[in-house]
Structure 1
Amino acid sequence: MASLILLPSTSDAFKAYKPSKNAHADFISAVDLSRGGRGSGSKEIKTVRLNVAAGPSIQPAKDQLTTLLSAIPELLSGKPTIKSYHLLSHTCHKLVLQPHTLGPTIYERVKEELEKSASTLAREWRGSIMTREGGWLAKLVDGWKRWEERVNLLSAVFVYLDRVYSNPSNGIASIAELSTATFGRLIWENELIFQKTRDEVLAWATREREASSSLADQRSTITALSSIAKLLSTFKTLSEPYIDLTTTHYQENASPLIESVEAGSASAAKYVGWVLEKVEEERERATVCLSAEVAGEAVDTVRRTAGQEYAERVVRKALDESMDSADTAALGRLYQFSIDVDSFALFSKSLECHLEDRLKTLISDPKNDPQMIDGTLKLKRFADEAVSSLFKAEPTPSKVDSVLEGANGLKSQEDKDNKGELEFKKVNRNRQFELEEAVRTGFKAGLGSRQNAPAEWIAKHLDVAMRKGQGSGTEASFNAHLDEIIALVGFTKDKDVFKAFYSTQLAKRLLLSKSASDDMERNMIVKLQNGELTLRISAEMGEEYTSGDVMMKDLQLSETLVKSYQSAQAKDPEHFKDAGNFTANVLTESAWPAYPLLKDGWNFQLTPSLQSSIDAFTSWYATQHKNRQLSWRFQLATVTLSGRFPSGRYEIGVSLFQAVVLLLFNEEDSLDFAAIKQRTGIESQELIRTLQSLSMGRKGTRVLLKKPPGKEVNPTDVFAWNKGFSSERIKFKINQIQQDMSAEESKKTNEQVAIDRVSVLEATIVRIMKARKKLSLQLLIDAVVSDVVKRFPPDVKEIKKRVESLIEREFLMRDEEERGVLHYLA
């Protein structure tokens, strides 16, 4: 493209040009070629010829240097330069190259002027500080920005100085680096200025902490100041005092709060929440205004000074408050607190001790016995749910531990993140297991603080559950409830006590048809024997629950036997005319609880009709099983009577003892206590309970009247047929008091357990000595304890008594030389 203007090689056309006072802002506007012409589309070109006279000769290098150096203070002060920036940059370019090589000279002048400018600024700011002018940090930040802008302009104009002379290859700092160092040395490190800056930063931090909120109008200044300090490589001069202040602040504030917690005027759980809240406040403040590293230090400081140092004094109290109020959110905060302050072991131990102490309080008072298991199960449910809730959503770790690389290293950051996540999950699983174990240990210790009673009441609670069945609930929820009860069995030390009561109550449910479902009973027996949730119990108790299987089989065989008896009655009704409608359960004595014969205080006499029924069945059974002998137990027998009253006819379900008493009133309208006792032969206490149930039971079951009225039965009381009896139901049962686990029966069961323990100890001692032949007393005691502890807590004194008894009975003998050594005698 052809030029619009052809310029000669020399010209004096612009000799009258003088730079403006604002040379640093000069610019040349583009010429609008379309003005006065034919338009941009015209092909004609107007040629202008200029005759330019020769100009003055080139300025000497010395003068160029003077011009260049004189511009430095103007650039640093923000004043306009006499020469344009382009000319100054071009001049710098020429002077730093050969043949002039004036780079060192120019660099030294730049250095001097930077120091002068910084010194001037320092004096100005010191004066401002001494006169106590406000807004110091904003002034410092604004001053730095102006300084930075002017240094950047200086660097741009003297760009060739940095490229040729002051560059990394020469080991000389650039103008920007030099200016930063100068500012730091003469201004930042000035004692008065630095002290004022540091004090203002710390004062800002204190104001935010006291207000517990961010001061948005000041944060931008603090953030800018942090950036300046980082650029000057003096950030630690701010961060270290900041962390020191953080330490002091939380030491001063945490101590009185802890004292209030210990005095009972403040909540430990709220203190834990306060620490967690302050951790997040410090993290957010330092991250936004200082740096992530300082945020980490600040967080660690809060956790150490307000958390770790007081963990021993606050964790247990906070856990007690959270558990007592069933506050899972508070418990979750305490768990996070314990992790943050490296006190998880203390948290776990506190949970264990809390459960132990709470259970001890619950079961230590016999008045709480009826509510013991309900309270224990409620606590167990909450403890399990609380522990589970801590790990439902795995949080992102607040601080990820360094991950060791393998032999081949990790290929990418993603690999590191994945491995870190796996490690975090592993740690979480271990923590969950530890807390679950703490719950189990706490329950074991708590339930073990009272002998026998917890195991007995667990069995009673199970009995009630098996009688009620699932009700309106689901099968799954009922099975879950049974699993909860079995878990408590695993926590008790007196498992033999539970077995004794469970077997007794199972027998009653089966014999009296009180169980909600036979299938549930079988399921329960399986659970106790080898269910997944009762693996611990199974391993400890072995085949102790096989008697339940035998009971169920006995009842099935009895059902078959009764059907055979009924068939025999149908075939020969004349022979069985006095047998009546009779059924019997023929049981294996060794598999069922020991039901004693009616001896002391008893002279029991059945009515002729009832006795004939038993005699008929006994005779028939003898023909079926010649080598077997029946031994009758009347304690659990039941009878269905047909009662005729003026109000109508009723079908009444009663116990055998109740039936014998009621049948007396077919012959007499009234009888006194002594007469009833003489005719029935029922033991006094049993007769009292029987008469109470017939005359003082619930409304609609009082078929007898007592004179005089009252709750107690006395030997002089008279009982009469209730002619005015009426009931809304045609068929009903009169509660059989003797079917419930009375205090007397409970006492007898515990006494039988104690006798059985003696037998178990002696059998264990003999078995061990038979295998070892010779053993020291201490080793024998240890072996016996290890063996029987799975069933009940052994008493060392009792073991020694059993050893002495076996020596007297010549099962064992002492060594003649070493009295502490025992020998087995074959």
Structure 2
Amino acid sequence: MIECHMQRLVHMENSGLISMIVDEKFVDLGRMYSLFLRVPNGLTIIKDVMTSHIRETGKDLVTDPERLKDPVNFVQELLDKRDRLDKIISLAFNNDKTFQNALNSSFEYFINLNPRSPEFISLFVDDKLRNGLKKDKEEDIETLLDKVMMLFRYLQEKDVFEKYYKQHLAKRLLSQKTASDDAERSLIVKLKTECGYQFTSKLEGMFTDIKTSHDTMQGFNATMGAEIADGPALSVQVLTTGSWPTQSSSTCNLPPEILGVCDKFRAYYLGTHTGRRLTWQTNMGTAVLSAKFGNAQKELSVSTYQMCILMLFNNVDCLSYKDIEQATEIPPSDLKRCLQSLACVKGKNVLRKEPMSKDIADDDAFFFNDKFTTKLYRVKIGTVVAQKESEPEKQETRQRVEEDRKPQIEAAIVRIMKSRRVLDHNNIVAEVTKQLQSRFLPNPVVIKKRIESLIEREFLERDKTDRKLYRYLA
């Protein structure tokens, strides 16, 4: 009797399987599960309908342009969706492994339909580790990180996530804006367990650099105490080039007062360590300035770029955009963002702009706003930044990821050929894909190009009779 009515029961319009899943009718779903369990292939029908429903709704979620405008909310919706379905499988479907596997394969399918999923998951983690969870305890962050790791497992391009995560972690560490050091380290342990030591070695190196820098500054202050007592207080973080995200080497002209103490630190550091070079990354720094508005004394917490702009107004009341650009040599895109945050944000407008508008033009004039008032003693002025990457930045990140993949693909080809000695093209592609799929899915066209590159450099050679056969050259 059950077998005769299975299809009709599952597909009924307002009370079938999908309707029960949407309305979370756990008792009815459990009843359907126990009934269909008695019939051969009964559960397969439920599983197939559930899978196609998850895939369709998931595809709608990850391709909806409106949802893509808010990366943090996008990931939260994915987590909520998975929680709801997990609950159904555990309460109604007896935690059945086949249903759990169907859920996992469905999520893997639709999460990878959106090429920005790795970036969005990293932005979500950044938001939670930067701001913490409202009114929640430490263990709740742990639970959330475990859920995020579940989404991370579905990603086919884990190396893209690593690229973004490294950038976001660098900003959190350098600006000391992390809600919990324990949560930061906990996530790195989870990533190491999932992907191995190589995946997290550079991330761990970043934490080591921050600790070493703290010790270096203690030594500098103890040694140079008398010489730097009258100047501005300096705190330097020395970053190892290989561990941190590669930064564009755009520098700006630092004010003379700052330059003096920077030169003293350089002399101290290079005197203590031999064979090292220092490059100032002014685009990553912060500063606290003392400022006077009328009779009111305030402190301004700003970026290094903003400090360079504001200190120009110690000597003059009005500067044009071109004057500021020439004096500081800050890259135009960064300069415009800094000026927007200093002159166009209500409650933070320590500069005045004429003509008044939200955008910065080349012929704008800027004045020190001596009528600026606020109840706060310390005013934090952020920089106007986009939460997501712009299209050119996205292309640049993608390009860097592709470049990083080349040596990994070549290393896998050499490892395989060293052990197999002779192998045909299709088998090499299959083996390389198998070896690297835990980090990313290599493109067969790219694998072919890396094979050709290795042939040119005489690591491999083609068989003289069969061009699809390769030999390893010892």
Distance in 2 of aligned mates of 1:512 and 1:680: 22
The separation in 2 between residues aligned to 1:705 and 1:804, in whole angstroms, is 60
**Would the alpha carbon gap of residues 549 and 309 (structure 1) be closer, same or farther in structure 2, given more than 3 Å must change?**
closer
Cα distance, 1:771 vs. partner?
2.8
Asked if 2 retains the 8 angstrom alpha-carbon contact of 1:647 and 1:725, the reply is no
TM-score by length of 1: 0.54
C-alpha spacing 1:311/1:775, structure 2 compared with 1 (3 Å): farther
* Counterpart position of 1:730: 377
Structure 2 residue corresponding to 1:547, chosen from 196, 199, 202: 202
Distance 1:503 1:694, change over 3 A: same
CA separation of 1:745/1:732 partners in 2, compared to 1, >3 Å: closer, same or farther?
Answer: farther
Q: Which residue does 1:562 correspond to in 2?
A: 217
Matched residue, 1:594: 246
- 1:577 Cα offset (Å): 5.4
For residues 443 and 315 of structure 1, what CA distance do their matches in structure 2 show?
25
Give 1:751's aligned residue: 399
Aligned-residue offset at 1:740: 5.1
1:691 to 321, 329, 339: 339
Cα separation, 1, equivalents of 2:24 and 2:294: 58
Correspondence for 2:119: 456
1:436 aligns with 2:100: yes
Deviation at 1:340, TM superposition (A): 5.1
Distance 1:747 1:703, change over 3 A: farther
Residue of 134, 139, 151 corresponding to 1:476: 139
Question: 1:668 maps to what in 2?
Answer: 316
Q: Which residue of 2 aligns with 1:467?
A: 130
- d(CA) in 1 for partners of 2:28 and 2:233? 65
Q: What's 2:166 paired with?
A: 503
Aligned residue for 1:308?
6
- Asked if 2 retains the 8 angstrom alpha-carbon contact of 1:354 and 1:442, the reply is no
- Provide, for residues 145-169 of structure 1, a one-character-per-residue CA deviation record: whole Å limited to 9, x for no partner: xxxxxxxxxxxxxxxxxxxxxxxxx
SS of equivalent residue, structure 1 residue 543: helix
Give how far 1:688 is off: 0.7
| 1:804 to partner: Cα distance | 2.1
Unaligned runs of 5+ in 2: none
The residue correspondences of 1:354-503 to structure 2 (distance < 5 A) are 354-369=53-68, 370=70, 371-390=73-92, 432-451=96-115, 453-503=116-166
- What is the SS of the residue equivalent to 2:282? coil
How far is the alpha carbon of 1:314 from its aligned partner?
Answer: 4.7
Quick one: structure 1 residues 718 and 487, their matched pair in 2 at CA, closer, same or farther if it must change by over 3 Å? same
1:778-816, CA deviations, whole angstroms, 9 ceiling, x for partnerless residues?
111111111111111221122112222322333322111
What RMSD, in angstroms, separates the aligned Cα atoms of the two structures?
2.2
Q: 1:566 to 1:319 in 2, by over 3 A?
A: farther
> Any idea what the Cα deviations from partners look like across 1:280-312, whole Å, max 9, x if unmatched?
xxxxxxxxxxxxxxxxxxxxx3x233x235367
- The CA deviation string for residues 651-705 of structure 1, in whole angstroms up to 9 with x for no partner, is 11100000000111111111111111011101111111110011112x3211011
- Indicate the residue corresponding to 1:157 in structure 2: none
Tell me the CA shift for residue 774 of structure 1.
1.9
| Structure 1 contact 578–616 (Cα < 8 Å) conserved | no
Give yes or no for contact 2:191–2:199 (8 Å, CA) kept in 1: no
Distance of 1:747 and 1:578 partners within structure 2: 46
Partners of 2:457 and 2:468 in 1: CA distance: 18
Distance (whole Å) between structure 1 residues aligned to residue 131 and residue 21 of structure 2: 31
Q: Is 2:277 the partner of 1:629?
A: yes
Partner of 2:448: 800
Please identify, of 584-593 and 541-550, the stretch whose mean Cα deviation from structure 2 is larger.
541-550
Distance 1:327 1:643, change over 3 A: farther
The answer (yes or no) to whether the contact 1:308–1:341 under 8 Å persists in 2 is no
Q: Which amino acid aligns with 1:581?
A: A
Q: Assess if the C-alpha contact under 8 Å between 2:351 and 2:368 holds in 1.
A: yes
Residue by residue, what CA displacement relative to the aligned partner does 1:608-650 show, whole Å, maximum 9, x if unpaired? 1111121110001112112222122111100110010015111
1:330 CA drift (Å): 4.6
> Which of 522, 532, 539 is residue 185 of structure 2 equivalent to?
522
* Structure 1 residue 789 corresponds to structure 2 residue 437: yes
Q: Contact 1:673–1:714 at 8 Å: present in 2 too?
A: yes
Give the drift of 1:745. 4.0
Listed one character per residue, the Cα deviations across residues 748-774 of structure 1 (whole Å, up to 9, x for unaligned) are: 323211221223222222222233222
Contact 1:578-1:613 within 8 A present in 2 as well: no
User: Is the partner of 1:671 in helix, strand or coil?
Assistant: strand
SS in 1 for 2:210: helix
For 1:801 and 1:551, the matched residues in 2 are separated by: 34
CA deviation after TM superposition for structure 1 residue 326, in Å: 4.1
* Superposed displacement of residue 317, structure 1: 8.7
Aligned length: 469
Preserved CA contact (<8 Å) 1:496 1:792:
yes
1:309/1:463 CA distance change after superposition, 3 Å: closer
Q: Following the alignment from structure 1 to structure 2, what is the Cα–Cα distance between the partners of residues 764 and 671?
A: 57
Does the Cα contact within 8 Å between 1:579 and 1:617 map onto a contact in 2?
no
Taking the aligned partners of 2:15 and 2:241, their CA distance within structure 1 comes to: 55
Query: Counterpart in 2 of 1:331?
Result: 29
Question: Which has the higher relative contact order, 1 or 2, with Cα contacts under 8 A spaced 6 or more apart?
Answer: 2
Residue identity in the other structure for 2:357: G
Asked whether 1:651 is paired with 2:304, we answer no
Distance change in 2, residues 1:783/1:511 (3 Å): same
Cross-structure match for 1:512: 175
Q: Is residue 717 of structure 1 aligned with residue 416 of structure 2?
A: no
Using the alignment, how far apart are the partners of 1:706 and 1:354 within structure 2? 54
Q: Quick check: which has more Rg, 1 or 2?
A: 1
Question: What is the deviation of 1:576?
Answer: 3.3
The letter of the residue matching 2:78 is: T
Q: Distance in 2 between matches of 1:469 and 1:547?
A: 24
Q: 1:341-371 deviations in whole A, cap 9, x for unaligned?
A: 5511121232223222222111123432223
Tell me if 1:705 matches 2:352.
yes
The corresponding residue for 2:16 is 318
For the residue of structure 1 that corresponds to 2:18, the secondary structure is helix
Which residue of 2 is the match for residue 154 of structure 1?
none
Give distance in 2, aligned partners of 1:794 and 1:618: 43
Give the Cα separation in 2 of the matches to 1:812 and 1:609: 59
Q: Deviations over 1:536-580 (max 9, x none)?
A: x33xx553012222211111111111111111122xx1x335753
Give the residue type in structure 2 aligned to 1:590. Answer: G
Displacement over 6 Å in runs of 4+: none
Instruction: State, as a whole percentage, how many aligned pairs show the same letter.
Output: 30
Q: Tell me if the contact between 2:13 and 2:19 (Cα under 8 Å) persists in the aligned partners.
A: no
Q: What is the deviation of 1:514?
A: 0.9
Does the CA contact (< 8 Å) of 2:27 and 2:92 recur in 1? no
- Residue 40 of structure 1 is matched in structure 2 by none
Instruction: Name the structure 2 match of 1:258.
Output: none
CA contact (8 A) 2:62 2:114 kept: yes
Letter in 2 for 1:491: Y
Alignment of 1:92-171 (within 5 A): none
